[in-house]
């Protein structure tokens, strides 16, 4: 289970598709995408350390800074702006492929946790990755169904609802992965709860 490829798919298949809904919550989809990237980059680093593929002092990147404050809810959202933001989110997600070694002073090291705690975290992290992968496969299957009707907009309500449920389930598990990484590194990506709210629209 490769956290990086799963993270790219979450960015391109979920965050990108929720761009308009995220904007409706007065949040910036690009900042959300950067937060999602951080989560999967941290997971990748954590699991490589657990598998002894890299040293225990190998740092994860620093998470993005939180937004100072969400702005006012927009009265209207321009479709061209949504398209531009969605394109930017896709580009951010694909940057996950370019994993680079991070100098210790520019990253965040793993906390010194007991073996038992590390085992529990690793087990929960791997379980969440498997669940996310399953929901992403389901989402892809439902989107293929929707394409037969000319896209999500024209798909029957049952297909649209199933797509929304898969997006929600992915969003919930990304937030839980973020919480796991907070236990592992003492820091977390900010504002990811907006993904859950956006997926419920």
Q: Provide the 8-state DSSP code for 57.
A: T
Full-model pTM:
0.93
User: Is the pLDDT confidence value at 68 over 80?
Assistant: no
Neighbour-count burial of 152, counting CB atoms closer than 10 A to its CB (0-12 exposed, 13-18 middle, 19+ buried): middle
pLDDT recorded at residue 98: 83
pLDDT recorded at residue 105: 73
DSSP-based three-state secondary structure for 146: helix
pLDDT recorded at residue 200: 86
Q: What is the dihedral of CA 60, 12, 170, 151, to 10 degrees?
A: 180
What percent of the chain is predicted at pLDDT more than 70? Answer: 95
Instruction: Please check whether residue 113 is in contact with residue 184, taking contact to mean a CB–CB distance below 8 angstroms.
Output: yes
pLDDT recorded at residue 72: 67
User: Is the pLDDT confidence value at 104 over 80?
Assistant: no
Q: Which of 5-9, 156-160, 178-182 has the lowest mean pLDDT?
A: 156-160
Token duo for residue 71: 């702005």
User: Is the pLDDT confidence value at 75 over 80?
Assistant: no
pLDDT recorded at residue 199: 92
What percent of the chain is predicted at pLDDT more than 90? Answer: 71
pLDDT one-digit tens code per residue, 105-130: 789 999 998 989 999 999 999 999 99
- Give the Å distances, CA to CA, from 157 to 32, 38, 153, 154: 28, 34, 9, 9
Token duo for residue 193: 């709860």
Average pLDDT over the chain, rounded to an integer = 91
pLDDT recorded at residue 70: 58
Mean pLDDT of 35-59: 94
> Residue 69: which pLDDT band, with cuts at 50, 70 and 90?
low
Instruction: Please check whether residue 49 is in contact with residue 58, taking contact to mean a CB–CB distance below 8 angstroms.
Output: yes
């Amino acid at each position: 289970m490769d956290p990086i490829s799963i993270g790219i798919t979450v960015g391109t298949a979920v965050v990108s598709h929720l761009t308009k809904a995220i904007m409706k919550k007065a949040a910036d989809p690009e900042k959300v995408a950067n937060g999602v990237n951080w989560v999967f980059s941290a997971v990748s680093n954590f699991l490589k350390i657990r598998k002894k593929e890299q040293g225990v002092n190998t740092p994860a990147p620093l998470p993005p800074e939180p937004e100072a404050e969400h702005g006012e809810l927009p009265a209207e959202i321009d479709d061209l702006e949504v398209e531009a933001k969605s394109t930017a989110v896709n580009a951010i997600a694909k940057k996950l492929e370019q994993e680079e070694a991070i100098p210790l002073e520019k990253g965040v090291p793993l906390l010194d946790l007991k073996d038992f705690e590390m085992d529990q975290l690793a087990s929960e992290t791997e379980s969440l990755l498997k669940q996310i992968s399953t929901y992403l496969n389901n989402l892809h299957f439902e989107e293929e169904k929707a394409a037969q009707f000319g896209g999500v907009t024209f798909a029957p309500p049952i297909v649209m609802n199933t797509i929304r449920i898969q997006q929600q389930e992915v969003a919930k598990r990304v937030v839980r992965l973020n919480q796991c990484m907070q236990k592992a590194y003492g820091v977390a990506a900010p504002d990811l709860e907006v993904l859950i709210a956006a997926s419920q629209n």
